[in-house]
């Protein structure tokens, strides 16, 4: 028995000492494994240092600098390619991608993953090879997103990855929702949001985790090979409820509803089982009931049909009709104001008070020359509200927009101007910026340019 206790009473330790401003070099005595890994053409390494913190080392390319990466936000991805291993990626948009491999059987690797999940931060040391030495150019401590650490914890425990759906470019119109569909009963799934919030710690992170599960449900329904799911037109609803039991504190519930032509009040319904299996991973799933989403003032979020997921674009048509149906079928008492009625009234007030201010008109009134020192918001205003004559100014000032806005700009312009956009996009192809060229290719694809196919084919 004593031998068994000794066998399992092990400790994890390391002699790794991180670089400091006073000693920025990697030394063979202290950092042998890191140096040897870099010499084997690896550009990443991770370890737990002598203070019990996790350090990630990145060997940056000769043409890159620490300042380039220090000012960028990291994007984190995690995936499991094969059983027993985990791949973590750190991505810098438009710059580089660094991959870290974890062996889930290795005790040290497992301990490092547990530390990352618990501390929700990461120490990044940027190393460069210079004059025969590996020198640390700088340190950055980056906060890990809650959604990422949640996935990391799941993967380290051998659980399946939460999936993401592929959304259709087109929104579903609420005009297509019939009275029959709105009054139809559905399977309701009730999450104890109060308990979930208490477990996670704050509203933002809790909302992130709920959203990840909603996406997972959509993705699993989208990819399902079950004929009962593929042949149906499923609608996913969302809602909130407050419940007070006796003198206890009120409990808030986050509700998800699943309705469809083939969704029936049977516990073995295929679509229902998919949703229940996904949400069943959360200990806060309290009930699964056969209910009317409209009676509980739910909102349709997306429709899943024939492997396509489309979000709803809800207008006053939906809220007016839902208000009418609620009053006719579910009104608890005459003075009760339902959610649909309140939203519909708020929408009317917003429309009545809505004012459009033309930034370009204001510039002209102030005697400012169009195209002179435009700001990023003014460029976006031109994109959304301008005319064909504004296209030269838009493309002259695209450099003011960050990369994440360029695809949105291309989509808006392609919808408004179609093939009229072609010459401007060909000019943008000659730009020195990589993100500008990628945006041009994306725009040419959106407008279906045949000339672009021929040109890009020979590149």
3-state SS track over 196-250: HHHHHCCHHHHHHHHHHHHHHHHHHHHHCCCHHHHCCEEEEEEEEEEECCCCCCC
Mean pLDDT of 163-181: 88
268-277, 295-304, 444-453: lowest mean pLDDT where? 444-453
Give the pLDDT score at 2: 38
Torsional class of 34: left (φ above 0), alpha (ψ -120 to 50), beta (otherwise): alpha
What percent of the chain shows pLDDT beyond 90? Answer: 31
Distance between terminal CA atoms of the chain? 71
With the C-alpha atoms ordered 386, 388, 390, 392, is the resulting torsion angle positive or negative?
A: positive
Mean pLDDT of 69-94: 80
Mean pLDDT of 47-66: 84
Instruction: Give CA–CA dist 317/323, Å, rounded.
Output: 10
Give the pLDDT score at 192: 95
Give the pLDDT score at 273: 96
Mean pLDDT of 25-48: 88
The H or E element containing residue 359 is: helix 359-365
Give the pLDDT score at 92: 83
Judge whether 176 and 321 are in contact, CB under 8 Å: no
- Between the ranges 28-37, 188-197, 201-210, 393-402, where is the mean pLDDT highest? 188-197
Mean pLDDT of 226-239: 94
- Between the ranges 111-120, 128-137, 272-281, where is the mean pLDDT highest? 272-281
Q: Which two tokens stand for residue 416?
A: 């408004």
pLDDT tens per residue across span 6-23: 333 334 445 578 888 888
Residue with the two structure tokens 């079950």: 226
263-272, 317-326, 436-445: lowest mean pLDDT where? 436-445
What percent of the chain shows pLDDT beyond 70? Answer: 87
Mean pLDDT of 109-136: 89
- Between the ranges 73-82, 91-100, 248-257, where is the mean pLDDT highest? 248-257
pLDDT over threshold 80, residue 136? yes
Phi, psi of 89 (to 5 degrees): -120, 140
Q: Which two tokens stand for residue 409?
A: 């700009």
pLDDT confidence band for 164 (50 / 70 / 90): confident
Give the pLDDT score at 10: 38
Judge whether 91 and 102 are in contact, CB under 8 Å: no
pLDDT over threshold 80, residue 398? yes
Give the pLDDT score at 226: 92
Give the pLDDT score at 396: 84
* pTM metric for this prediction: 0.62
Give the pLDDT score at 404: 64
Query: What SS3 state is found at 134?
Result: strand
Farthest CA pair distance, the chain: 90
Give the pLDDT score at 91: 87
pLDDT confidence band for 221 (50 / 70 / 90): very high
Mean pLDDT of 320-335: 90
Give the pLDDT score at 348: 59
Give the pLDDT score at 193: 94
pLDDT confidence band for 352 (50 / 70 / 90): very low
pLDDT over threshold 50, residue 272? yes
52-56, 334-338, 446-450, 452-456: lowest mean pLDDT where? 452-456
Mean pLDDT of 389-398: 83
Mean pLDDT of 295-309: 93
Q: Report DSSP letters for 47-104, one per residue.
A: EE-TTS-EEEEEE--TT--HHHHHTSPPEEEEE-SSTTEEEEEEEETTTEEEEEEEET
The rounded mean pLDDT for the chain is 83
């Amino acid at each position: 028995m004593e031998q068994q206790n000794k066998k399992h009473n092990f400790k994890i330790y390391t002699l790794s000492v991180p670089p400091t401003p006073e000693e920025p070099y990697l030394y063979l005595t202290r950092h042998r494994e890191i140096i040897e890994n870099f010499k084997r053409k690896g550009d990443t390494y991770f370890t737990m240092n002598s203070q019990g913190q996790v350090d990630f080392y990145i060997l940056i390319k000769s043409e890159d600098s620490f300042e380039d990466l220090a000012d960028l936000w990291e994007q984190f991805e995690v995936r499991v390619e094969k059983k027993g291993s985990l791949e973590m990626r750190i991505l810098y948009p438009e710059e580089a991608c660094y991959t870290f491999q974890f062996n889930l059987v290795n005790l040290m690797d497992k301990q490092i993953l547990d530390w990352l999940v618990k501390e929700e931060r990461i120490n990044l040391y940027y190393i460069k090879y210079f004059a025969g030495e590996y020198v640390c150019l700088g340190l950055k401590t980056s906060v890990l997103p809650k959604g990422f650490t949640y996935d990391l914890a799941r993967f380290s425990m051998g659980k399946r990855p939460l999936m993401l759906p592929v959304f259709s470019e087109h929104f579903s119109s609420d005009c297509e929702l019939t009275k029959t569909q709105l009054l139809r009963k559905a399977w309701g799934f009730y999450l104890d949001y109060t308990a979930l919030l208490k477990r996670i710690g704050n509203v933002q992170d809790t909302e992130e985790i709920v959203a990840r599960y909603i996406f997972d449900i959509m993705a699993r329904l989208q990819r399902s090979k079950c004929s009962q799911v593929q042949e149906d037109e499923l609608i996913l609803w969302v809602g909130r409820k407050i419940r007070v039991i006796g003198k206890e504190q009120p409990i808030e519930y986050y509700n998800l509803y699943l309705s469809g032509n083939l969704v029936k009040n049977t516990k073995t319904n295929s679509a229902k089982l998919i949703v229940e299996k996904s949400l069943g991973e959360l200990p806060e799933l309290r009930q699964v009931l056969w209910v009317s989403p409209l009676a509980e003032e739910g909102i349709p979020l997306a429709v899943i049909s024939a492997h396509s997921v489309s979000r709803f674009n809800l207008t006053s048509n939906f809220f007016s009709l839902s208000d009418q149906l609620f009053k006719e079928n579910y009104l608890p008492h005459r003075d009760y104001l339902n959610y649909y009625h309140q939203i519909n009234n708020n929408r009317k007030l917003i429309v009545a008070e809505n004012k459009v201010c033309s930034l370009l008109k204001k510039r002209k009134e102030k005697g400012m020359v169009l195209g002179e020192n435009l700001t990023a918001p003014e460029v976006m205003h031109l994109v959304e509200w301008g005319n064909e004559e504004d296209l030269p100014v838009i493309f002259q000032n695209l450099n003011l927009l960050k990369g994440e806005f360029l695809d949105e700009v291309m989509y808006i312009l392609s919808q408004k101007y179609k093939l009229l956009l072609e010459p401007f996009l060909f000019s943008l192809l000659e730009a020195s910026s990589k993100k500008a060229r990628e945006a041009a290719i994306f725009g040419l694809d959106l407008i279906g340019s045949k000339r672009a196919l021929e040109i890009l084919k020979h590149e």
